[in-house]
Amino acid sequence: MTIGVDHDKRVSDGLGHSSSGRLERVLRAGQFAVTAELAPPDSANPEEVYARARVFDGYVDAMNATDGSGANCHMSSVAMCALLSRRGYETVMQVSCRDRNRIAIQGDVLGGAALGINNILCLTGDGVQVGDHPQAKPVFDLDSMSLLETVAGLRDKQVFASGRALSDPPRVFLGAAENPFVPPHGFRPHRLAKKIAAGAQFIQTQYCFDLSRFRAFMDQSRDLGLLDKCFILPGVGPLASARTAEWMRRHVPGVHIPDAIIRRLEGARDQRVEGRNICIELIQQLREIEGVSGVHVMAHRQEAYVADIIEKSGVLGDRAPWSPSCNKALEKQHA
Amino acid sequence: MYSLRLWAARHARVFELTYRAFEPVVVKLHPLWKSVGYRRAEKPMGKLERLCKGLLFDCQMCGQCALSATGMSCSMNCPKTMRNGPCGGVLQNGNCEVYPEKRCVWVEAWEGSRKMRGGDAIRVVQLPVDHRLKGSSSWLRVARDASESGERHREAAR
Ligand code: SF4
């Protein structure tokens, strides 16, 4: 069994890596990567963050700490990532344009990188109307594209968006989101091309329940020559029941669930188990698609099942992603 | 006006041609703008621009018009003011996640761009909005930029 690479070993630029993170290393080594979404607590207690992370130990290469996802207020992404990286975890800091302008965001990116965050996912963000503070002022000073360009500028040109120079750039691996499952379908692959041009190195997609749509998107992306320019991790997740699925596709912007999936859940004896089986099958089928470098698991309120889903899908083979126990094992060896 | 805005994006080709004919005229008038003073021309031109484009495109006068790169659908009408394409929340029927009764500005933009000869400009990454320019005339800016860069070229050639 291969043990995940240890956290502090810096990767030389000679390898063409832009961060010193494990996620970038796993992807560039051609291994099938698994990332998972970590729900932030409504609390100021760091132990809650660690408890939420622990359920993924040994099964994921990085955890995405969401940034007020669904426009609901929670602990901030930068703080969650900073707490987790203290313990050696690999995190993806999500940055959305909804709540902060370019001055605040650039400051957070520098601060996040200084605190040990290796990956940044640039998002536009959900509208405030869907969240728990619909009275709030939506900022949207940048959009996901100009955010990518701005962070790439900090890293590669070592300047702020204003042109003012930095002394030390943030060494981060840059990600973006894409949703191949909503209109305008013809534009989606071109939008991916724009994101790559703006600096995206990896892509995590919205939930994929519609394989044929996803295949069409990947075919078009291949024709545009995009598949070897970025790592694509389609989003997956277990559906708790036909009712939740129905609710999600009605109320969560951007989630597309075909009728066939809902019917299959309805017909199952245990809908929860069936939801997980569907997820496992999707992961296995997605792995076979050209250009898919991993999966991004979003198991809202079903985080406890993620390890089992990954295990059963078999996508990790005999690889065990880093977990705090790897460090303990190493310490013992050296003692 | 919302219905006019939809109609304009559906006839993006016509407006593309109109603007192509119009732009050189505004640029040619550079001596006039210069003698009146760009500052003083700003008010009447801004008003005129707001009137025409407001009516046709629901123009929000961002002062850095990108209509030719957005299929003649003004992206400042997107509640997230997306300048580079649709967000991930577009509804299956092509409507907006924030205003479900309205078309997504970028669905219109993509369809409009397919009708334009220069529609591929939609693939170019747009810079973030410069909020200082809000309310000012894009036409005058185009005229000034074009003539100034022309003057620089001529000087360099000398
Ligand atoms: S659905 Fe379209 S118009 Fe609405 S916020 Fe998203 S991109 Fe803007």
pLDDT at B154: 82
In whole angstroms, what is the distance from residue A7 CA to residue A88 CA? 6
Residues 6+ apart with CB under 8 A from B151: none
pLDDT at A7: 36
Instruction: Identify whether A187 is part of a domain.
Output: yes
pTM: 0.93
**Which residues in A56-172 belong to E strands, given as ranges?**
62-65, 91-96, 119-123
Position A2, amino acid? T
CATH number at residue A22: 3.20.20.220
- The reply to whether B104 touches chain A by the CB within 8 Å rule is yes
CA A244 from centroid of its chain's CA atoms: 22
pLDDT at B149: 83
Q: How far is CA B1 from CA A243, B72, B113, B121, in A?
A: 39, 14, 20, 25
Q: How much of chain A, in percent, has pLDDT values that exceed 90?
A: 91
pLDDT at A271: 98
Residues 6+ apart with CB under 8 A from A208: A180, A181, A214, A234, A235, A236, A282, A286
Distance from the CA of B75 to the center of ligand 1, in angstroms?
Answer: 9
Does residue A4 register a pLDDT over 80? no
Q: What mean pLDDT comes out for the span B56-82?
A: 96
SS (H, E, C) B110-127: HHHHHHCCCHHHHHCCCC
Find, in chain A, the residue whose alpha carbon is nearest to that of B79: A127
Across chain B, mean pLDDT equals: 93
Confidence class for position A327, pLDDT limits 50, 70, 90: confident
Task: Sort B89 into a burial class: Cβ within 10 Å, 0-12 / 13-18 / 19+.
Answer: buried
Task: Give the alpha-carbon dihedral of B140, A149, A292, A98, to 10 degrees.
Answer: -80
Domain extent, residue A131, equals 7-239+274-334
Distance from the CA of A312 to the center of ligand 1, in angstroms?
Answer: 38
The predicted-structure confidence for A217-240, as pLDDT tens digits, reads as follows: 999 999 999 999 999 999 999 999
Nearest CA to ligand 1 atom 4: B96
Residue for token pair 């660690």: A50
Instruction: Identify whether A262 is part of a domain.
Output: no
Helix (H, G, I), strand (E, B) or coil at B11: coil
Q: Give the residue, out of B5, B105, B126, with the most ligand 1 atoms within 8 A of its beta carbon, to mutate for a pocket test.
A: B105
- For the CA atoms of chain B, what is the radius of gyration? 17
* Helix orientation angle between A271-287 and A259-266, rounded to the nearest 10 degrees: 140
Instruction: Identify whether A218 is part of a domain.
Output: yes
Instruction: Check if B98 has its Cβ closer than 6 Å to any atom of ligand 1.
Output: yes
Distance from the CA of B144 to the center of ligand 1, in angstroms?
Answer: 33
Residues of B in contact with A179 (CB under 8 A): 88-90
Residues 6+ apart with CB under 8 A from B95: B101, B102, B103, B104, B107
pLDDT at B1: 80
Shortest alpha-carbon distance between residue A100 and chain B (Å)? 13
pLDDT at A2: 37
Does residue A310 register a pLDDT over 60? yes
Domain extent, residue B153, equals 2-157
> Which one of B79, B88, B125 has the shortest CB-CB distance to A197?
B125
Confidence class for position A9, pLDDT limits 50, 70, 90: very low
* Region of poorest pLDDT, from A2-11, A47-56, A222-231: A2-11
Confidence class for position A14, pLDDT limits 50, 70, 90: low
pLDDT at A98: 97
Across chain A, mean pLDDT equals: 94
Confidence class for position A304, pLDDT limits 50, 70, 90: very high
Does residue B43 register a pLDDT over 70? yes
Find, in chain A, the residue whose alpha carbon is nearest to that of B75: A143
Confidence class for position A3, pLDDT limits 50, 70, 90: very low
The predicted-structure confidence for A266-279, as pLDDT tens digits, reads as follows: 999 999 999 999 99
CA A17 from centroid of its chain's CA atoms: 19
CB contact under 8 A, B127 and A146: yes
β-strands A231-236, A173-178: how paired? Answer: unpaired
Provide the domain count of chain A. Answer: 1
SS (H, E, C) A190-203: HHHHHHHHHCCCEE
Provide the domain count of chain B. Answer: 1
Shortest alpha-carbon distance between residue B72 and chain A (Å)? 16
- Residue B26 neighbours by CB distance under 10 Å: 21
Distance from the CA of A235 to the center of ligand 1, in angstroms?
Answer: 21
In whole angstroms, what is the distance from residue A209 CA to residue A282 CA? 8
- The reply to whether B103 touches chain A by the CB within 8 Å rule is no
Find, in chain B, the residue whose alpha carbon is nearest to that of A176: B88
Q: What mean pLDDT comes out for the span B91-117?
A: 96
Instruction: Identify whether A258 is part of a domain.
Output: no
ipTM: 0.91
A29 φ, ψ (degrees, to nearest 5): -80, -5
**Which residues in chain A belong to E strands, given as ranges?**
2-3, 33-38, 62-65, 91-96, 119-123, 173-178, 202-207, 231-236, 294-297, 319-320
Shortest alpha-carbon distance between residue B36 and chain A (Å)? 33
Instruction: Identify whether A205 is part of a domain.
Output: yes
* Region of poorest pLDDT, from A152-156, B4-8, B52-56, B143-147: B143-147
Q: What is the DSSP letter of A63?
A: E
Instruction: Identify whether A34 is part of a domain.
Output: yes
- When scoring B60, B108, B125 by the number of chain A Cβ atoms within 10 A, the one with the most, hence best to mutate, is B125
Instruction: Check if B82 has its Cβ closer than 6 Å to any atom of ligand 1.
Output: yes
Q: What mean pLDDT comes out for the span B100-106?
A: 97
pLDDT at A10: 36
Confidence class for position A5, pLDDT limits 50, 70, 90: very low
